[in-house]
Amino acid sequence: MHRTRVKICGLTRIEDVHAAVDAGADAIGLVFYPPSARCVTLERAAELVAAVPPFVSVVGLFVNPAEALVREVLAHVRLHVLQFHGDEHEADCARFARPWLKAARVRAGLDLLEFNASHAGATGILLDAFVEGYGGGGRTFDWSLIPSGLNRRRLILSGGLDADNVTEAVRRVRPWAVDVSSGVEVEKGIKSAEKISAFIAGVRNADG
Ligand SMILES: O=C(O)c1ccccc1N[C@@H]1O[C@H](COP(=O)(O)O)[C@@H](O)[C@H]1O
């Protein structure tokens, strides 16, 4: 039985870090994209990371960042993995000596096999719905656009997932992991412990 990994993204409060790890999250995500309402300062990020226990990964999310921004964050915040959610090329993502994920903003016409091949150095490809403003919009996409030839061990499904749809999503797509932000929130950047628990229960339901 495959245990689908779970990342809870866009945390801004210590109590939400506790809620995510207590519910069984494998990873938490911190947003370093200033236009996002979920963006955290370096100081807040370091406080949140200090609340993360062993064997839970911390992922830093960036959108078309200047190299200096990523280096500054890495100098202050213990990130295990980088997530690039903009229009970055492989070389932009690969220069920080950290495992990295590349988000594909999925819509009809995007060749996901070609996208995957052009980011071969990524640890994983994260599929999100195409939205204006790059992501975190709580919008699903048509999961039938995911080609069967895409290696499921590299696949992280996101985009509008919540406790109501994640069981069906995992059953249909069989990704390695799922990632959620809006679907476990009461407002942007403010998570709900109940929604996080219900979300992870929904994932486990699909795992069987
Ligand atoms: O969370 C954000 O504010 C954000 C900003 C810019 C790019 C991506 C962002 N979040 C990521 O978007 C996907 C989908 O999120 P949602 O569950 O639909 O809200 C997820 O990977 C977030 O980490």
Per the structure block, which two tokens stand in for 117?
């091949």
pLDDT 10s digits, 15-58: 999 999 999 999 999 999 999 999 999 999 999 999 999 999 99
Is the CB of 86 inside a 6 Å radius of any atom of ligand 1? no
Q: Where are the alpha helices (DSSP H) in the chain?
A: 14-23, 42-50, 67-76, 90-93, 112-117, 166-173, 193-207
pLDDT band for position 137 (cuts 50, 70, 90): confident
> Rounded to an integer, what distance in angstroms lies between the CA atom of residue 86 and that of residue 75?
22
pLDDT 10s digits, 67-97: 999 999 999 999 999 999 999 999 999 999 9
> Rounded to an integer, what distance in angstroms lies between the CA atom of residue 62 and that of residue 152?
24
Is the CB of 136 inside a 6 Å radius of any atom of ligand 1? yes
What beta strand segments (E) does the chain contain? 5-9, 27-31, 57-62, 81-84, 100-106, 124-129, 155-157, 177-180, 185-187, 190-191
> Rounded to an integer, what distance in angstroms lies between the CA atom of residue 8 and that of residue 16?
9
Q: Which atom of ligand 1 is nearest to the CA of 103?
A: 21
Is the CB of 141 inside a 6 Å radius of any atom of ligand 1? no
Position 171 scores a pLDDT of 97
What is the ipTM metric for this complex? 0.98
Least Cα distance to 55 among 27, 23, 14 occurs for 27
Per the structure block, which two tokens stand in for 100?
């990295």
Q: Which atom of ligand 1 is nearest to the CA of 159?
A: 18
Q: Is the pLDDT of residue 198 over 90?
A: yes
Catalytic residues: 9, 128
Q: What percent of the chain has pLDDT over 70?
A: 100
Least Cα distance to 179 among 204, 198, 162 occurs for 162
What beta strand segments (E) does 133-184 contain? 155-157, 177-180
Q: In the beta sheet, which residues pair with residue 4?
A: none
Q: In the beta sheet, which residues pair with residue 62?
A: 84
Is the CB of 189 inside a 6 Å radius of any atom of ligand 1? no
Q: Taking the alpha carbons of 71, 75, 81, 82 in that order, is the dihedral positive or negative?
A: negative
Q: Which atom of ligand 1 is nearest to the CA of 188?
A: 3
Q: Whose CA is nearest to atom 4 of ligand 1?
A: 136
Domains (range + CATH), the chain: 5-207 (3.20.20.70)
Position 166 scores a pLDDT of 98
Compute the radius of gyration of the chain from its Cα atoms: 16
Is the CB of 59 inside a 6 Å radius of any atom of ligand 1? no
> Rounded to an integer, what distance in angstroms lies between the CA atom of residue 142 and that of residue 162?
15
Q: Which of 102, 105, 158 to mutate to test the pocket of ligand 1 (most atoms within 8 A of CB)?
A: 158
Q: What is the mean pLDDT of residues 173-193?
A: 97
N residues, the chain: 208
Position 24 scores a pLDDT of 98
How many angstroms separate the alpha carbon of residue 38 from the centre of ligand 1? 9
Residue pair 165/140 in contact (Cβ under 8 Å)? The answer is yes
Is the CB of 99 inside a 6 Å radius of any atom of ligand 1? no
Q: Whose CA is nearest to atom 6 of ligand 1?
A: 135
pLDDT band for position 135 (cuts 50, 70, 90): confident
